[in-house]
Amino acid sequence: MANTFLKITGLKVAYGGIKAVKGVDLEVNEGELVTLIGSNGAGKTTTMKAITGSLPMAEGDIEYLGKSIRGKGAWDLVKEGLAMVPEGRGVFMRMTIAENLHMGAYIRNDKAGIADDVEKMFTIFPRLRERKDQLAGTMSGGEQQMLAMGRALMSRPKVLLLDEPSMGLSPIMVDKIFEVVRDVSANGVTILLVEQNASRALGVANRGYVMESGVISMNGPAKDLLSDPRVRAAYLGE
């Protein structure tokens, strides 16, 4: 049986007097690509923020590699192999692409390995190589998303959290981002993907969870959810 890398139990999160997450159970096993889908405001991003410690939990627990990470900050989690690409990308706008990638390796001190990984990111994202000395703030949204993913991968994560990676991107760029997500997963990185584009997310995932109004309403193998008439009606416009 596969090891459970990430386990959320009875998670409740409230802010501003609003109960945004109302008792979520979710798990991601080693090597899996699991997606959390749902409409805007369902509580998906709030769940991600609770995992990384940027929003406090009201109730419940989150375990990473079998240990509770309640109260831990993003800095500690990155050192332990849990990295996140946030919604809105969060690249360092006044740094170059190369500098951003090096920032992703701030927890490492293996110079040769870092140089190798920068080269690897340039292979995965050829556009970043072409513009490596360009300031991140001058890039398109899709290019910034590539950079944010590359920067997160520079920490060599065991688990990668992706929050709405396709949001606001052109169809061509969405294709590229999902191609990279699939490749990263195939190379052994465990992924939890939050995504409004349900058909694309379920198309690359092993398993999926559907979130509605702060609770999980359905879960199962991604291919089953993709063919479920309720999912198709609610999220695929059918």
- Element (DSSP H or E) covering residue 77: helix 74-79
Same domain, 168 and 203: yes
Whether 86 is covered by a domain: the verdict is no
Burial environment of residue 88 by CB neighbours within 10 A (0 to 12, 13 to 18, 19 or more)? middle
Same domain, 49 and 100: no
Same domain, 136 and 179: no
pLDDT confidence tier of residue 150, bands split at 50, 70 and 90: very high
**CA pair distance 238, 234, nearest whole angstrom:** 8
Same domain, 149 and 198: no
Which residues, including other chains, have CB under 8 Å from residue 187's CB and lie 6 or more apart? none
Whether 120 is covered by a domain: the verdict is yes
Same domain, 179 and 143: no
Bridge partners, residue 162, by sequence: 85, 193
Whether 146 is covered by a domain: the verdict is yes
Mean of the pLDDT values across residues 96-113? Answer: 94
Same domain, 112 and 11: no
The helix/strand/coil state of 14 is: strand
Whether 208 is covered by a domain: the verdict is yes
pLDDT at 138: 95
pLDDT at 7 > cutoff 80: yes
CATH number at residue 200: 3.40.50.300
**CA pair distance 233, 238, nearest whole angstrom:** 5
Which residue do the tokens 């749902």 mark? 38
The helix/strand/coil state of 104 is: coil
Rounded mean pLDDT of the chain?
93
Q: Which residue has the higher pLDDT, 165 or 236?
A: 165
Same domain, 163 and 45: yes
By the 8 A CB rule, do 67 and 227 touch? Answer: no
pLDDT at 48: 93
pLDDT tens sequence across 77-93: 999 999 999 877 789 99
pLDDT confidence tier of residue 235, bands split at 50, 70 and 90: confident
Range of the domain at 144: 91-156
Structural domains of the chain, count: 2
DSSP 28-70: EETT-EEEEE--TTSSHHHHHHHHTTSS--SEEEEEETTEE-T
